[in-house]
Amino acid sequence: MAGRMLGELRSSVKIGIVVLCLGLSGAASAQQMTDEQRENFQLYQHDAKAGDAWSQSMLGDMYHFADGVPQNYELAAFWYQRAADQGNASSQANLGYFYENGFGVPQNDSYAFDLYLRSAEQGNATGQANVGYMYDVGRGVAENDYEAVRWFQRAAEQGHALGQSNLGLMYLDGTGVQQNFYTAFDWFVQSAEQGHVDGMTNLGFMYDTGQGTPRNDAFAVEWYRRAAEENYPLAQTNLGYMYDVGRGVAQSDSEAFRWYLMGAENGNALGQSNVGLMFLNGRGTRQDDREAFRWFEASARQNHADGLTNLGFMYETGRGVGQSDRQAIHYYRLGADLGNDTANSNLRLMLNAGRGTK
């Protein structure tokens, strides 16, 4: 007897906290420099070479965001470093982001944390939010939930949208602070109203689950949609779920598939698993075992419990791939280790039947 498949599941609130470094919101393309951009570039370059920290920071932004010039992380890092050495808080935060991610410089979490902290101690809200993140995940510094909350709080109180969303997550989970759904909801509202995709998605989740506020499917859909339309993968997957089950919107397999696919193509592991299920069952798209297998495999590569479990099912039943009890057990075991009940149940069924053990 084959094991069971997982049903389509929505995501819980975003587990990983995304760190963003805010700078000049420049144009994405530098195909043609406008007269204003040319004038700014020449002015910043002249003053930056003369040692003006603000101009050095702005020149770094232009290279960082391709604002009228070709994007060049090395030159952006060069100018950020010169400004940061003079105590420019914005450049310290941006340079920290470069070192955290290895953009134009060698990746170095410890130096990234040092730069964030120097920025944060000057009151820069982005630096404060990023110090909180580093404490939260233990990058460049020992993990410390209480310090994470303290720095998220400082950023949030300055109106930093990501700091507000991350502080909301700490209250939602009761990490480093006493759990309080109502306080979490309030911080998500403040972040969402600034148009931040994390805040909007997390606010949608609160309405979706009725935590900190009465459940309201229509409001959940509204906030998921606003973030999804900003191409945010988690919100796209969650909006797909609402269409899948007909909550807050008319049920539609085709719309569910469309939003799942957007989330999946943007790298959301749950979206990838759910796209696989839609292909497997021919819902909202053609029935195609090979496509189902491909999406389950993509999800499993991200170590997502649903993708691992569903990939195990494909190997167990030989759908879209050659049948293999050993591979099925391998993936069920990985899913079970992540706490997936279906994987655990299917693993027990196979082992009790003596399958895949020879």
Q: What is the pLDDT of residue 31?
A: 56
CA neighbor of 234 nearest in space, from 210, 187, 258, 198: 198
Average of pLDDT values for 236-264? 97
DSSP class of 159: T
Whether pLDDT at 175 is above 90: yes
φ, ψ (nearest 5 deg) of residue 229: -70, -15
CA dihedral of residues 206, 209, 215, 218 (deg, nearest 10): 80
How sure is the predictor about 346, in pLDDT bands with cuts at 50, 70 and 90? very high
Q: How many CB atoms within 10 Å of residue 250?
A: 7
Answer yes or no: pTM beyond 0.85: yes
Whether the CB-CB separation of 131 and 162 falls below 8 Å is answered with no
Average of pLDDT values for 325-334? 96
Average of pLDDT values for 22-26? 32
CA neighbor of 224 nearest in space, from 246, 240, 244, 245: 240
Average of pLDDT values for 215-235? 97
Whether pLDDT at 107 is above 50: yes
Q: What is the pLDDT of residue 356?
A: 79
How sure is the predictor about 109, in pLDDT bands with cuts at 50, 70 and 90? very high
Whether the CB-CB separation of 208 and 174 falls below 8 Å is answered with no
Least confident of 16-25, 49-58, 228-237, 300-309: 16-25
Q: How many CB atoms within 10 Å of residue 93?
A: 29
- Mean pLDDT, the chain, whole residue set: 91
Whether pLDDT at 273 is above 80: yes
Q: What is the pLDDT of residue 165?
A: 96
Task: Indicate the class that CATH gives domain 233-358.
Answer: mainly alpha
H/E element holding 97?
A: helix 89-101
Sequence ranges of the domains in the chain:
233-358
Chain centroid to CA 326: how far?
A: 33
H/E element holding 271?
A: helix 269-281
